[in-house]
Amino acid sequence: MRGPLFHLTERRTTLRTEILGGVTTFATMAYIIVVNPAVLSFAGFPTGPATVATIIVAALGTILMGLYANRPIAVAPYMGENAFVAFSLTAMGVALPQMLGAVFVSGLAFVAITLLGLRAWLAGAISPSLKHSFAVGIGLFLALIGLYQSGIVTSAARGLPAEALTGPGGLLKAPDVPLKIGNLAEPRALLAIFGFLLIAVLLQRRVRGAILIGIVATAVIGAALGHGEAPRGVLAVPFTGEWSLAPLFLKLDVPGVLRLSFLPVLLTLFVMGFLDTLGSLVGVGAAGGMLDEDGEFPEIEKPMLVDALSCTLAGLVGTTTSGAYIESASGIREGARTGLAAITTGLLFVVSLFFIPLVEPLQRLAYTYSPALVAVGLLMVSSVRHIDFEDLTELVPSFVTIVMMVFTYNIANGLTAGLALYPLVKVAAGRGREVKPGAWVLAALCASYYVFGLPH
C-alpha cells in the first residue's frame, strides 16, 4: 500500500491518516443513507430497496474511485438530482421504470463524452455565473421541499373552507397566494426548526457528521416526546425480505426514454450530473492541494469516468444520478490524499448495509430529514456570491434559472430556460463572440424543451 498502488509516501501521508480521513468523510455524508430513500419515496420508490440501492452505489462507486483514480473522493447519489426525479418527474407523469431508464441512459452519455473528451468541453462552454445559478436554484428548491415537508411552510388552501376554494360553476379555485406559513405550534414543525438550528450550529463549529448528528438527535428527542418510534432492530440481512433489491434491480425502461419527449429529462440529468461532478472535483481538489498551477485537476478523466460508471450502476440497481461528493473535503482536511481513504469510506458503506434498521425510522419522519434538506440547500445557496451581478448578460439568465426552478417547482424548467436564454442575451447585447460553440449546442437542445411544449 505504501508503494505502487496508493503512493502514500509520495503524497506525504500515512496509513493512519488515510483511514482517519475515510472515516471522517463517511461520517460527514452518511446522512444520504437516510435522506435519499426518504426523498425518492415521493416518487414511489420502496424505501427498503431504495436504501440498499443507495448504499450499494455509494460503496461500489467510492471503492472504484479509490482503486482506479486513487483519489480520496467519495461517490453517492446526488442531492438535487434525487429531488428532480422525485418531484419534477413525478409531476410530469413519468413512471418509475422510465425514471431509472433516464438515469441509466444519462450515465451512458456520461461515459461516452468522458471517453471522447467532450465532458470538459461542454462544461467549459457554460459561464461560471450560470453554473453557480444552477447550484443556487437547486439549493432553494431543496430548501422549499424541506420547509414544506416539515410543515413550516404549507399550502395557502390548507384550513380554508371548501366554499372559499370554489369558483363559478363549482370549479376548484386556486388560492391567490399558493403558500403560507404553517402552524409553528405543531410539535413536528418545532422539532424540524430545532433540527435545522442544531445542524447549523454543528456546521458552524465544523463538527464531523453535523447533518447526520442533527437528524439522529432530532429523532431521539421526537421519539422521547411521543412523535416517533424506536428502531425495530439493529441488524439486518441485506438483499432479503424488505431489504431485497428485487423491486428496483433491473426494473429500468430504456426504450421508453429514447424518444423526443424525454430529451429535456435526459438533458437535465446530464447537465446536472456533469456540473455537480466538475464542481465537486475542483472543490475537493482545491481543499487538498490537488490542483495544478493552472487551477486544473490532474488526470480529471479518471474520477469523471468513475462518476459516469456510478451513474449507469445507479440506474441498474434503483437509485438516482450519482457522483463525487463535496463532503469528501472533510476527510481531505484531516489529511487524506489517496484512494485508500475512499476505500475506507466505501467499506464503511458496506458495513452500514447490515445496520439499516437503525435508520429506517428516520426515513418515515419528515421532521428528521427535512431539516437536512434545508441545510443542504443553505450550503448550495452560498454559490450566489460567484454570480456576476454587475453584468446583466450573466445576471439575467442566472436569475431566470433560479426563479424558474423555484417558482415552477421544476428543476428542468429553470436549467433549460437559463441555458437557452444565455446566448440570446449575449447576442442581443452585441457580445455574441463570447458564446462558445458548446453553449449554442446546449441552447438548441434546451430550446426544444419549450418549442415542443414539454415544460411542466
Identity of residue 68 = Y
Q: What is the pLDDT of residue 2?
A: 46
Q: What is the pLDDT of residue 296?
A: 63
Distance, in Å, from the CA atom of 186 to the CA atom of 199, rounded to the nearest integer, reads: 20
pLDDT, mean over the chain: 85
Mean pLDDT of 235-246: 88
Q: What is the pLDDT of residue 1?
A: 43
Burial class (CB in 10 A: 0-12, 13-18, 19+), 442: buried
Contacts of 32 (CB under 8 A, 6+ apart): 54, 58, 76, 77, 79
Distance, in Å, from the CA atom of 321 to the CA atom of 52, rounded to the nearest integer, reads: 15
Distance, in Å, from the CA atom of 448 to the CA atom of 267, rounded to the nearest integer, reads: 11
CA distances from 429 to 68, 185, 434, 435 (A): 46, 51, 11, 12
Q: Which of helix, strand or coil describes residue 325?
A: coil
pLDDT at 294 > cutoff 60: no
Local structure of residue 43 (DSSP, 8 states): G
Distance, in Å, from the CA atom of 266 to the CA atom of 263, rounded to the nearest integer, reads: 5
Q: Are 99 and 316 in contact (CB under 8 A)?
A: no
C-alpha cell at 350: 458496506
Backbone φ and ψ for 348, nearest 5 degrees, come out as -65, -35
Local structure of residue 78 (DSSP, 8 states): P
pLDDT at 221 > cutoff 80: yes
Contacts of 306 (CB under 8 A, 6+ apart): 61, 64, 65, 68, 69, 75
pTM of the model: 0.79
321 conformational bin, left if phi > 0, alpha if psi -120 to 50, beta if neither: beta
Model confidence at 259, pLDDT cuts 50, 70, 90, reads: confident
Taking the domains of the chain in order of start, what are their residue ranges?
Answer: 15-151+186-451
Backbone φ and ψ for 5, nearest 5 degrees, come out as -80, -55
Give alpha helix (H) positions in 127-239: 128-150, 187-204, 210-224
C-alpha cell at 244: 431485497
Higher pLDDT, 119 or 335: 335
